[in-house]
Structure 1
Amino acid sequence: MGWSVNRSWCEQGLECEQGLECEQGLDPPEIKEILHLATLNELEVIPLVQTFGHMEFVLKHEALAHLREVALFPNTLNPHEAESLALVGAMISQVMELHPGARWLHVGCDEVYYLGEGEASRQWLQQEHNTKARLCLSHIKAVACHVLARHPATRPLVWDDMLRAIPEDQLSASGVPRLVEPVLWDYGADLDVHGKALLMEKYRKCGFLRLWAASAFKGATGASQALTPIEHHLRNNVQWLQVAASGPADMLQGIVLTGWQRYDHFSVLCELLPVGIPSLAVCLQSLLNGGFAEDVKAKVENFLGISNLEITDFTSEGAGSFPGSDILALVTHVGLHLRSSVDALLERDRYVTGWFSSYHRRRKLIHPVMVQHIQPQALSLLARWSTLVRELEAALHRVFYPDTVEEWLEENVQPSLRRLQGLLQDLREAASPRQLAAQDP
């Protein structure tokens, strides 16, 4: 087919791992250790730094807010400000200093929302022949030229979504096809294979010499998704294989298997990396072997130490011997059973719904005998989940920064535990002698 799965790893999202407020990121020694481990495992790192859209991690700061395209929104950089390119250049320099010899640098440029809506852009667009497409291409060109001028051996990669609708003649005339390699991304389970092949052909006609595809092995299926739907990602990657087989020969350099940690800088965490490792193994082996036949499935199960990998649902809990499999098992158990078990008690238990409803709880009213029906169940459920959550918290702390652990537990565990604790508190107050004596006959 003229292409292969490129054994590279984009560092996209690493700045988000430590939570929304933490500015520390990875220390240089940590990056050096990652690069060393990558080399030992025959992996080539492709760093990524956003340079246009998804700039919230920079533009959220008051000191840099004047570089926003639209003053209210921190996601898009104002391409008219000279200081904007200086900022991008400084970030690129920092990243490249820590990645000497990198053959590629991904400069992002996806989802440049509100481009053209800032005051400077509005005035610029009033001039003859100026369009949003031209504005977008001029910034991409400026960033790419900056990279190539200072790092001539490094090839810039860009996400392709801002390029898709631009006519061929404009793309060709811009000079951008000679400077960057587009990464065509689509994470859906029902890919338009024919449409993607036509898009690749369009890019070829515009003068792009090399293209990349981007699938996903986790993320992309829900901003707050906790468990990875392997079948969805498997279908996505298999369909990208079909695109590769039907597109222009020898253009596709590889497939970037993205693994999202957040939808954007301000969103919650989606699937943690240990949770997505089985999906990563399935998708990688499917790409390498041209599909997910039984022999490929057996190979993945052997890699992961899973006796029977389930790809259609989340029932493979408690299995696996790969690093992080303990987190996967605990997260799966929480994801499948915590909220549902609490809902069953609070919303479907006949004693709670019949004798200690929200009406009773607000007024602290309860028949004393009902305390004996409700309280033991609630205490048992709380004790069982508290024990499991302590085990999960300890496992998470072995892998993640403390604020990542705090955030994930706050989003996925604490709401259900607080509901149980609230029920028990209301029971104690309603069952107090003073409250029982005060109840109307």
Structure 2
Amino acid sequence: MTQSPAARRSLRRAFAASLSGTTLEYYDFAAYSVASATLFGRLFFPSGDELAGTMLAFSTYAVGYLSRPVGGFVFGRLGDVLGRKRILVFTLLLTGFATALIGVLPTHAAIGGFAAVLLVLLRFAQGVGVGGEWGGAVLLSSEFGDPKRRGFWASAAQIGPPAGTLLANAVLALLALVLSTAQFESWGWRIAFLLSAVLVLFGLWLRLKLEETPVFRKIAESGQRPKAPVTEVVRREPRALVTGILVRVCPDVLYSLFTVFVLTYMTGKLHMPRGEGLAAVMIGSACQLVLVPAAGALSDRVDRRALCVAGTVAAAVWPFVFFPLLGTRSFAAVVIGVVVALAIHALLYGPQAAMITEQFSPRLRYTGSSLAYTLAGIAGGAVAPLVFTALLAGFGTWVVIAAYVAITAVLTTWGALLALSPGAVERRDRIALATAEAGS
């Protein structure tokens, strides 16, 4: 399909807007994740029991996931009714400014337990914004592009997590390097959160320049916008919803293990320097910047379902290799382990945006993909750090953690087997869009 120069410019702008927005969202989440694993237990949840402090900090980490369905429900519905662009501007502002406010939040030492309450409320707002962001960001880039290259164009939103993680870890590592431990724990960590306001302005500038996506314009002009999209998804497309939830579970758990819990395990169990763990995550995230879009592009050439199954098999096996590597306490072994883990995650994550969104019909795509994304987050990423910490405390061995990842891999494989074939997706979309054009 040949595109006009104007259409290609719109596509490039949409790709940039999708990438920048999700990078900001995940910069915010990654900054919080690292802080909760290494710092917030002492600042907001002081306790004589270090494990209890970590558990409490991870509980507020989970709040960011548990609030995502609220964002998916509210903004997903509005995205199918009002349009992609308008909603994505609001989600960007919500998440960015909630993060900036964390940067000025008083700690427990200043205002007591009320500090923890405010932290949880801001974390909740972050989650609501992210819950409404992902589905729209995926559609923003993919609905401007050729459907036959949906895997690549939709991966713009998937590059955001490694880019945001890399940026957040780089900022925190730099602050930890140039500041003393006392300075970093007193006020230095706040800089990472305050930078969110700058990133919001850049993302906002990109998104305000965009037009609405061609697919939504066709649906709106035909008068086929849904009146109750959440109800329609649940009643008419339940298989798509279950598929979208299951294919996200294992990647979410894998990502939590190798970007969040690994820091706690290294510092708390192995007594290794925090900087080594941060460096390994940064290197792995840098590799993902290339691997995620490459995996998305590969899924345009081969069956996305087969790639998902291959990735889940690798995800089930690698933790049993990784933890013995980590036990050597070698920095090189840690880097190799994290890089391979995040490469496996990229194989699952790159095609995931296209795979989930194409399970739903075009007129319900924002709602359906947002609900699948956010509900899967509860079953996967929200509880994973808590489960990892509890399993390690209860059994004292990494083997049960690896077994937990293997179980989630089975669930994601099941989701891949439930997914529509590429041919079925193409036929359904062709009919739906032709009907919309005839109706307009």
| Shared fold (TM-score, shorter chain, > 0.5) | no
Measured against the shorter chain, the TM-score band is under 0.3
Higher Cα Rg: structure 1 or 2?
A: 1
Report the TM-score when normalising by structure 1.
0.25
Which structure is higher in strand share?
A: 1
Relative contact order: is structure 1 or structure 2 higher (C-alpha 8 Å, sep ≥ 6)? Answer: 2
Which structure is higher in helix share?
A: 2
